[in-house]
């Protein structure tokens, strides 16, 4: 997916876009009766009573305005509830919730349909045939409103509640992990950091501002390489030098992944290797322009987003568990629910198998994938980072609670049984760390012994 397609996807997901679209549809639908009123047979014109359509439209306009206002109040309350009870990171999911946006858009579209219908009726735009057609369209609109209201009432029973918020976090986390596993390198060539160090001659390109990387357009990086290679070849040909191949000889090593925080002077966005040495001032300027345009392939924003960030879902889940385990909330049941749901997310990560080459980076996904941009080297998400996103904060905040410690040990035992060598090593390491936290935080000996007993079931002493 290119950068503009990714931006368009996020643009269309916004509440205002769908609401505007439904509003325009409501206006066009009201005018539809005036444009196609000649389709209605004259025999149907005696069916309607005087002012029947006008009365229905006035009732619909008043009720839809009230329902829209009420729905907005409900949504604002749900946003505040999710932010305070779960985590502020979950608010983004509720704002982009499809069911809520569809309901609000339908109500506002029906309101505008009614208003435009009333205006056109009083301006004499409709003949008798047009009134019949407007009546039929109004009946269809009422059916749509009733269906939407029934679904909306059922949906309101869960919107903004803790269980609904956690379920949405799990859903988006699983979706992004599956998307990552389908195309782990975004069409680029796999790059194993440990097996293939970056040459010292590489040109490092740093971020122009501080923020989180939200998107990397690998296709744009490849295209910029190709264009720069063609330009260099043309300049060399004019200088009667040896002609360069059309395919770009240079390579780009992507140094960051979506979700990572960058700042000017910190970790480079990417490193470029193999650029031809500029032979004149024109070539030097072309190279500088090329390097400047490379930054456009990296979308940097103040905050992280769930899109294309397979780790952020677990980060948000860990925040929910940590808040539930705080002294102000003290809700171990919610923390255990988060741990159970997170296990299903880690089950997807367990599909990452160790690579065939022992020197390669351990967490690189294996399997078939298409290399569409061979001159752009992209690293894989480190499985160690995925574990660090979830287990340390949950283990720290739940260290003093017996039930949380036991559930965390059982989860890590399950991951040990599911994964390959790397996941097994990480599961055992984090289980040991969690046990040490429990031993340090628990004052009651039977609580410590209960957690230790669960841990020894998988890893007996001395093994």
Which tens digit of pLDDT belongs to each residue from 267-322?
899 999 988 766 677 777 878 888 889 999 999 999 999 988 999 999 999 999 99
Q: Compute the half-sphere exposure of residue 457: CA atoms within 13 Å on the CB side of its CA.
A: 14
pLDDT at 440: 95
CATH number of 187-301: 3.90.1170.30
pLDDT at 364: 55
DSSP secondary structure code for residue 43 in this structure: G
Q: Which residue spans of the chain are classified as CATH 3.90.1170.30? A: 187-301
**Which pairs count as long-range contacts for 177-184, CB under 8 Å and 24+ apart, including other chains?**
177/310, 177/313, 177/345, 177/348, 177/349, 178/348, 179/308, 179/310, 180/308, 180/310, 180/381, 181/348, 181/351, 181/352, 181/365, 182/369, 183/369, 183/370, 184/364, 184/365, 184/369, 184/380, 184/381
**Model confidence at 50: pLDDT above 60:** no
Q: Compute the half-sphere exposure of residue 321: CA atoms within 13 Å on the CB side of its CA.
A: 32
**Model confidence at 359: pLDDT above 70:** no
pTM of the full predicted structure?
A: 0.83
> How far apart, in whole angstroms, are the C-alpha atoms of residue 104 and residue 19?
7
pLDDT at 194: 80
| Lowest mean pLDDT segment, chosen from 160-169, 340-349, 391-400 | 160-169
pLDDT in tens, 78-122: 888 888 888 898 888 888 888 888 899 899 988 988 888 888 888
pLDDT class for 238, splitting at 50, 70, 90? low
């Amino acid at each position: 997916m290119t950068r503009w397609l990714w931006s368009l996807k996020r643009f269309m997901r916004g509440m205002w876009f769908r609401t505007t679209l439904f509003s325009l549809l409501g206006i066009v639908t009201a005018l539809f009766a005036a444009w196609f009123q000649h389709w209605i047979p004259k025999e149907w014109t005696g069916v309607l009573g005087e002012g029947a359509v006008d009365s229905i439209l006035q009732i619909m306009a008043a009720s839809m305005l009230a329902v829209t206002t009420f729905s907005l109040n409900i949504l604002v309350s749900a946003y505040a509830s999710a932010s305070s009870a779960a985590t502020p990171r979950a608010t983004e999911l509720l704002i982009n919730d499809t069911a809520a946006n569809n309901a609000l858009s339908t109500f506002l579209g029906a309101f505008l349909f009614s208003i435009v219908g009333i205006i056109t009726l009083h301006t004499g735009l409709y003949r008798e045939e047009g009134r019949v057609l407007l009546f039929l369209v109004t009946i269809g609109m009422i059916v749509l409103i009733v269906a939407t209201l029934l679904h909306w009432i059922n949906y309101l029973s869960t919107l903004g509640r803790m269980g609904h918020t956690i379920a949405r976090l799990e859903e988006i986390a699983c979706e992004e992990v599956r998307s990552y596993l389908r195309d782990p390198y975004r069409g680029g060539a796999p790059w194993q950091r440990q097996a293939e160090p970056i040459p010292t001659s590489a040109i490092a390109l740093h971020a122009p501002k501080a923020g989180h990387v939200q998107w990397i357009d690998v296709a744009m990086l490849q295209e910029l390489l190709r264009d720069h290679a063609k330009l260099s070849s043309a300049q060399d040909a004019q200088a009667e030098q040896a002609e360069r191949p059309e395919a770009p000889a240079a390579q780009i090593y992507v140094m960051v992944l979506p979700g990572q925080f960058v700042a000017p002077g910190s970790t480079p966005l990417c490193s470029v290797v193999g650029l031809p040495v500029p032979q004149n001032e024109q070539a030097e300027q072309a190279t500088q322009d090329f390097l400047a345009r490379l930054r456009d392939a990296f979308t940097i924003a103040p905050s992280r987003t769930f899109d294309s960030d397979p780790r952020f879902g677990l980060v948000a889940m860990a925040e929910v568990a940590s808040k539930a385990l705080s002294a102000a909330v003290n809700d171990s049941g919610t923390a255990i629910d988060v741990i159970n749901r997170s296990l299903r997310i880690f089950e997807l990560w367990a599909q990452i198998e160790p690579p065939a080459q022992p020197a390669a980076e351990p967490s690189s996904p294996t399997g078939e994938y298409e290399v569409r941009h061979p001159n752009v080297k992209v690293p894989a998400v480190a499985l160690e980072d995925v574990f660090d996103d979830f287990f340390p904060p949950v283990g720290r905040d739940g260290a003093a609670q017996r039930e949380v410690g036991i559930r965390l040990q059982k989860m890590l035992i399950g991951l040990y049984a599911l994964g390959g060598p790397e996941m097994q090593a990480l599961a055992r390491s984090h289980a040991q760390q969690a046990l040490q936290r429990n031993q340090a935080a628990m004052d009651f000996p039977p609580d410590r012994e209960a957690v230790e007993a669960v841990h020894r079931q998988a890893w007996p002493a001395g093994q």
